[in-house]
A and B are shown apart, each in its own frame.
Chain A
Protein backbone atom coordinates (compact mmCIF):
# COMPACT_ATOMS: atom_id res chain seq x y z
CA UNK A 1 0.00 0.00 0.00
CA UNK A 2 1.29 3.46 -0.90
CA UNK A 3 0.54 7.10 -0.20
CA UNK A 4 -0.41 9.54 -2.95
CA UNK A 5 3.29 10.32 -3.16
CA UNK A 6 4.02 6.63 -3.92
CA UNK A 7 5.77 5.88 -0.65
CA UNK A 8 5.20 2.56 1.10
CA UNK A 9 2.89 2.54 4.15
CA UNK A 10 3.62 0.02 6.92
CA UNK A 11 0.58 -2.21 7.36
CA UNK A 12 -0.38 -5.67 8.57
CA UNK A 13 -3.33 -7.98 7.99
CA UNK A 14 -4.32 -10.11 10.98
CA UNK A 15 -6.29 -13.24 10.22
CA UNK A 16 -7.69 -14.63 13.43
CA UNK A 17 -10.18 -13.91 16.15
CA UNK A 18 -9.81 -16.64 18.73
CA UNK A 19 -12.74 -18.10 20.68
CA UNK A 20 -11.43 -16.39 23.79
CA UNK A 21 -11.43 -13.01 22.06
CA UNK A 22 -14.90 -13.67 20.70
CA UNK A 23 -16.07 -14.39 24.24
CA UNK A 24 -15.11 -10.83 25.23
CA UNK A 25 -17.41 -9.25 22.66
CA UNK A 26 -20.68 -9.56 24.63
CA UNK A 27 -19.06 -7.44 27.32
CA UNK A 28 -18.40 -4.65 24.81
CA UNK A 29 -21.94 -4.99 23.50
CA UNK A 30 -23.40 -4.61 26.99
CA UNK A 31 -21.21 -1.63 27.68
CA UNK A 32 -21.74 0.32 24.48
CA UNK A 33 -24.93 -0.94 22.81
CA UNK A 34 -27.12 1.95 24.00
CA UNK A 35 -24.99 4.53 22.17
CA UNK A 36 -23.98 2.64 19.06
CA UNK A 37 -25.36 0.99 15.96
CA UNK A 38 -23.70 -2.13 14.57
CA UNK A 39 -22.49 -1.83 10.97
CA UNK A 40 -20.47 -5.03 10.56
CA UNK A 41 -19.38 -8.10 12.46
CA UNK A 42 -15.90 -8.37 14.01
CA UNK A 43 -13.17 -8.64 11.40
CA UNK A 44 -9.50 -9.07 12.29
CA UNK A 45 -8.18 -7.97 8.89
CA UNK A 46 -8.29 -4.22 9.53
CA UNK A 47 -8.33 -1.87 12.49
CA UNK A 48 -9.74 1.65 12.78
CA UNK A 49 -6.93 3.24 10.81
CA UNK A 50 -7.28 0.52 8.16
CA UNK A 51 -10.96 1.39 7.84
CA UNK A 52 -10.31 5.12 7.68
CA UNK A 53 -7.24 5.18 5.45
CA UNK A 54 -6.90 1.78 3.74
CA UNK A 55 -10.39 0.91 2.49
CA UNK A 56 -10.73 -1.94 5.02
CA UNK A 57 -7.98 -3.94 3.29
CA UNK A 58 -5.45 -4.05 6.12
CA UNK A 59 -4.46 -2.71 9.54
CA UNK A 60 -2.28 0.34 10.16
CA UNK A 61 -0.72 0.35 13.60
CA UNK A 62 2.27 2.70 13.47
CA UNK A 63 1.99 6.36 14.47
CA UNK A 64 4.74 7.14 11.97
CA UNK A 65 2.64 5.65 9.18
CA UNK A 66 -0.33 7.83 10.14
CA UNK A 67 1.80 10.96 10.23
CA UNK A 68 3.03 9.98 6.78
CA UNK A 69 -0.50 9.43 5.44
CA UNK A 70 -1.79 12.77 6.75
CA UNK A 71 1.16 14.57 5.17
CA UNK A 72 1.55 12.69 1.89
CA UNK A 73 -2.15 12.25 1.09
CA UNK A 74 -2.82 15.97 1.45
CA UNK A 75 -4.93 16.01 4.62
CA UNK A 76 -5.57 19.35 6.27
CA UNK A 77 -6.91 19.92 9.76
CA UNK A 78 -10.49 21.27 9.76
CA UNK A 79 -11.94 23.32 12.61
CA UNK A 80 -14.87 21.65 14.36
CA UNK A 81 -17.44 24.19 13.13
CA UNK A 82 -16.47 23.48 9.49
CA UNK A 83 -16.58 19.67 9.64
CA UNK A 84 -18.76 17.86 7.10
CA UNK A 85 -19.93 14.24 6.88
CA UNK A 86 -17.13 12.04 5.55
CA UNK A 87 -14.30 14.01 7.16
CA UNK A 88 -11.82 12.07 9.27
CA UNK A 89 -11.88 12.27 13.05
CA UNK A 90 -8.62 11.40 14.80
CA UNK A 91 -8.47 10.62 18.53
CA UNK A 92 -5.12 11.41 20.13
CA UNK A 93 -3.74 9.82 23.29
CA UNK A 94 -2.18 11.89 26.06
CA UNK A 95 1.26 11.40 24.50
CA UNK A 96 0.15 12.38 20.99
CA UNK A 97 -0.33 8.78 19.85
CA UNK A 98 -2.90 8.28 17.07
CA UNK A 99 -5.14 6.27 19.36
CA UNK A 100 -8.19 5.89 17.12
CA UNK A 101 -9.75 7.22 13.94
CA UNK A 102 -13.05 7.10 12.08
CA UNK A 103 -15.28 8.92 9.63
CA UNK A 104 -17.72 11.64 10.65
CA UNK A 105 -21.37 10.71 10.00
CA UNK A 106 -22.94 13.80 11.57
CA UNK A 107 -20.68 16.79 12.25
CA UNK A 108 -20.27 18.31 15.71
CA UNK A 109 -22.86 21.04 16.25
CA UNK A 110 -23.91 23.22 19.19
CA UNK A 111 -27.19 21.31 19.53
CA UNK A 112 -25.25 18.06 20.04
CA UNK A 113 -22.81 19.72 22.46
CA UNK A 114 -20.17 19.66 19.72
CA UNK A 115 -20.04 15.88 19.77
CA UNK A 116 -20.19 14.24 16.32
CA UNK A 117 -21.66 10.93 15.26
CA UNK A 118 -18.83 8.71 14.05
CA UNK A 119 -18.41 5.49 12.08
CA UNK A 120 -15.33 3.60 13.23
CA UNK A 121 -13.81 0.16 13.76
CA UNK A 122 -12.67 -0.81 17.24
CA UNK A 123 -9.47 -2.83 16.73
CA UNK A 124 -10.56 -6.43 16.04
CA UNK A 125 -14.10 -5.72 17.20
CA UNK A 126 -17.01 -4.40 15.17
CA UNK A 127 -17.44 -1.45 12.89
CA UNK A 128 -19.98 0.80 14.58
CA UNK A 129 -21.76 4.11 14.30
CA UNK A 130 -21.41 5.72 17.72
CA UNK A 131 -21.62 9.02 19.52
CA UNK A 132 -18.10 10.44 19.35
CA UNK A 133 -17.46 10.26 23.07
CA UNK A 134 -19.13 6.89 23.65
CA UNK A 135 -16.28 4.55 22.78
CA UNK A 136 -13.19 3.15 24.54
CA UNK A 137 -10.97 5.92 23.15
CA UNK A 138 -10.30 9.34 24.64
CA UNK A 139 -12.48 12.08 23.14
CA UNK A 140 -10.62 14.77 25.10
CA UNK A 141 -8.21 15.46 22.24
CA UNK A 142 -9.77 14.93 18.82
CA UNK A 143 -8.98 16.64 15.54
CA UNK A 144 -10.75 16.59 12.19
CA UNK A 145 -9.09 16.21 8.80
CA UNK A 146 -10.04 16.42 5.13
CA UNK A 147 -8.05 15.88 1.93
CA UNK A 148 -7.69 19.34 0.40
CA UNK A 149 -4.65 19.03 -1.82
Chain B
Protein backbone atom coordinates (compact mmCIF):
# COMPACT_ATOMS: atom_id res chain seq x y z
CA UNK B 1 0.00 0.00 0.00
CA UNK B 2 1.56 3.27 -1.11
CA UNK B 3 0.91 6.23 1.18
CA UNK B 4 1.85 9.37 -0.68
CA UNK B 5 1.63 11.57 2.42
CA UNK B 6 4.65 9.80 3.94
CA UNK B 7 6.90 10.60 0.97
CA UNK B 8 9.45 13.40 1.14
CA UNK B 9 8.27 14.87 -2.16
CA UNK B 10 10.16 18.21 -1.86
CA UNK B 11 13.42 16.24 -1.56
CA UNK B 12 12.49 14.09 -4.57
CA UNK B 13 11.81 17.21 -6.63
CA UNK B 14 15.07 18.83 -5.53
CA UNK B 15 17.11 15.78 -6.61
CA UNK B 16 15.20 15.54 -9.89
CA UNK B 17 15.75 19.20 -10.68
CA UNK B 18 19.47 19.18 -9.90
CA UNK B 19 20.22 15.91 -11.69
CA UNK B 20 22.57 16.21 -14.65
CA UNK B 21 22.68 12.44 -15.03
CA UNK B 22 20.44 9.46 -14.18
CA UNK B 23 23.21 8.21 -11.86
CA UNK B 24 22.96 11.35 -9.71
CA UNK B 25 19.18 10.98 -9.48
CA UNK B 26 19.48 7.29 -8.53
CA UNK B 27 22.12 7.85 -5.82
CA UNK B 28 20.33 10.76 -4.19
CA UNK B 29 16.85 9.22 -4.27
CA UNK B 30 18.25 5.97 -2.86
CA UNK B 31 19.70 7.91 0.08
CA UNK B 32 16.22 9.24 0.97
CA UNK B 33 14.76 7.37 3.97
CA UNK B 34 11.23 7.68 2.61
CA UNK B 35 12.25 5.81 -0.56
CA UNK B 36 13.39 2.89 1.57
CA UNK B 37 10.12 3.08 3.54
CA UNK B 38 8.26 3.07 0.25
CA UNK B 39 10.07 -0.13 -0.71
CA UNK B 40 9.22 -1.77 2.62
CA UNK B 41 5.54 -0.85 2.38
CA UNK B 42 4.85 -2.03 -1.15
CA UNK B 43 5.48 -4.80 -3.64
CA UNK B 44 7.31 -4.40 -6.96
CA UNK B 45 4.02 -4.79 -8.84
CA UNK B 46 2.37 -2.08 -6.76
CA UNK B 47 5.30 0.28 -7.37
CA UNK B 48 5.31 -0.30 -11.11
CA UNK B 49 1.53 0.12 -11.31
CA UNK B 50 1.86 3.42 -9.46
CA UNK B 51 4.66 4.55 -11.83
CA UNK B 52 2.44 3.80 -14.81
CA UNK B 53 -0.50 5.69 -13.33
CA UNK B 54 1.75 8.72 -12.77
CA UNK B 55 3.20 8.46 -16.27
CA UNK B 56 -0.17 8.51 -18.02
CA UNK B 57 -1.72 11.37 -16.06
CA UNK B 58 -3.05 13.87 -18.59
CA UNK B 59 -1.92 16.88 -16.55
CA UNK B 60 1.34 15.42 -15.33
CA UNK B 61 3.28 17.67 -12.97
CA UNK B 62 7.06 17.68 -12.34
CA UNK B 63 6.48 16.30 -8.87
CA UNK B 64 4.71 13.34 -10.47
CA UNK B 65 7.85 12.65 -12.48
CA UNK B 66 10.04 12.94 -9.39
CA UNK B 67 7.74 10.59 -7.42
CA UNK B 68 7.72 8.10 -10.30
CA UNK B 69 11.52 8.03 -10.32
CA UNK B 70 11.54 7.58 -6.53
CA UNK B 71 9.25 4.56 -6.97
CA UNK B 72 11.59 3.05 -9.53
CA UNK B 73 14.56 3.59 -7.22
CA UNK B 74 12.56 1.96 -4.38
CA UNK B 75 12.70 -1.26 -6.43
CA UNK B 76 16.45 -1.38 -5.70
CA UNK B 77 15.67 -2.21 -2.03
CA UNK B 78 13.41 -5.12 -2.92
CA UNK B 79 14.09 -8.76 -3.70
CA UNK B 80 15.61 -8.73 -7.14
CA UNK B 81 13.87 -11.94 -8.22
CA UNK B 82 10.48 -10.40 -7.46
CA UNK B 83 11.50 -7.15 -9.19
CA UNK B 84 12.65 -9.02 -12.28
CA UNK B 85 9.38 -10.92 -12.41
CA UNK B 86 7.34 -7.72 -12.07
CA UNK B 87 9.36 -6.08 -14.83
CA UNK B 88 8.63 -8.89 -17.28
CA UNK B 89 5.49 -7.24 -18.60
CA UNK B 90 6.26 -3.64 -17.75
CA UNK B 91 7.60 -0.90 -20.02
CA UNK B 92 8.19 2.77 -19.20
CA UNK B 93 5.94 5.05 -21.24
CA UNK B 94 7.39 8.52 -20.90
CA UNK B 95 10.09 8.56 -18.22
CA UNK B 96 13.28 9.34 -20.12
CA UNK B 97 15.64 7.93 -17.50
CA UNK B 98 13.57 4.88 -16.46
CA UNK B 99 15.67 2.44 -18.47
CA UNK B 100 18.91 3.93 -17.09
CA UNK B 101 17.68 3.53 -13.54
CA UNK B 102 16.44 -0.01 -14.11
CA UNK B 103 19.79 -0.80 -15.68
CA UNK B 104 21.62 0.47 -12.56
CA UNK B 105 19.31 -1.66 -10.38
CA UNK B 106 20.06 -4.72 -12.50
CA UNK B 107 23.82 -4.10 -12.43
CA UNK B 108 23.93 -3.64 -8.66
CA UNK B 109 21.41 -6.36 -7.73
CA UNK B 110 22.49 -9.07 -5.34
CA UNK B 111 20.75 -12.25 -6.39
CA UNK B 112 19.71 -14.36 -3.44
CA UNK B 113 19.16 -18.04 -4.12
CA UNK B 114 17.90 -20.39 -1.43
CA UNK B 115 19.01 -24.01 -1.67
CA UNK B 116 17.22 -26.41 0.72
CA UNK B 117 19.71 -28.79 2.40
CA UNK B 118 18.59 -32.03 4.01
CA UNK B 119 21.24 -33.07 6.54
CA UNK B 120 20.85 -36.46 8.24
CA UNK B 121 20.53 -36.43 12.00
CA UNK B 122 23.73 -37.13 13.94
CA UNK B 123 26.31 -35.49 16.16
CA UNK B 124 29.90 -34.32 15.97
CA UNK B 125 32.42 -36.75 17.48
CA UNK B 126 36.07 -36.64 18.48
CA UNK B 127 38.40 -38.74 16.27
CA UNK B 128 40.54 -41.13 18.43
CA UNK B 129 43.16 -41.41 15.67
CA UNK B 130 43.77 -37.67 15.87
CA UNK B 131 44.32 -37.48 19.62
CA UNK B 132 40.64 -36.94 20.19
CA UNK B 133 40.78 -33.67 18.34
CA UNK B 134 37.21 -32.61 17.67
CA UNK B 135 36.32 -33.20 14.07
CA UNK B 136 33.26 -33.36 11.93
CA UNK B 137 32.47 -37.04 12.02
CA UNK B 138 28.80 -37.69 12.06
CA UNK B 139 27.54 -40.51 14.23
CA UNK B 140 24.42 -41.71 12.60
CA UNK B 141 21.58 -42.88 14.84
Contact = CB atoms under 8 A, between A and B. Distances in A.
The B interface is mostly helix, strand or loop, or mixed, namely: helix
Interface of B: 13-14, 17-24, 27, 61-63, 96-97
Contacts of B13: 20-21, 24
A122 B21 contact: no
Contacts of A24: 13-14, 17
Interface in A108-149: 122-125, 136-137
A97 B62 contact: no
B17 A98 contact: no
Interface in A14-46: 18, 20-21, 24, 27-28
Interface in A68-127: 93-95, 97-101, 122-125
Given A20-B62, A21-B62, A97 B24 contact: yes
B26 to A, nearest CB: 8
B88 to A, nearest CB: 26
Contacts of B61: 18, 20
